[in-house]
Amino acid sequence: MLTNTEVRSKVLDIIADIALDDDVTGISDEIALREQLDLDSMDFLDIVMELKKRHKIEVPQEDYPRLATMQSCVDYLAPKFNQ
């Protein structure tokens, strides 16, 4: 069973691999990721694909808005990591 901190770390690992030029250590939980990082829609899709590839987590397109902030990512993904 992963804690929220561990889920956040896994999401940060994926973001760090995709947003190579961005410093992910200071990401705020409440501010939209796209406002904090130079992410475009292709980067966002890469994050979703990496979740599927690395962790077998499917994120349906209608749920993409639930991945807007780091906190919403953790809230949405924690139950999926722990299935």
Instruction: Report the pLDDT value the prediction gives residue 80, as an integer from 0 to 100.
Output: 96
Instruction: Report the pLDDT value the prediction gives residue 62, as an integer from 0 to 100.
Output: 98
Hey, what domains does the chain have and what are their CATH numbers?
Answer: 4-81 (1.10.1200.10)
Each residue's pLDDT tens digit, 31-60: 999 999 988 999 999 999 999 999 999 999
Give me the amino acid identity at 50: E
Mean pLDDT value across residues 19-40: 92
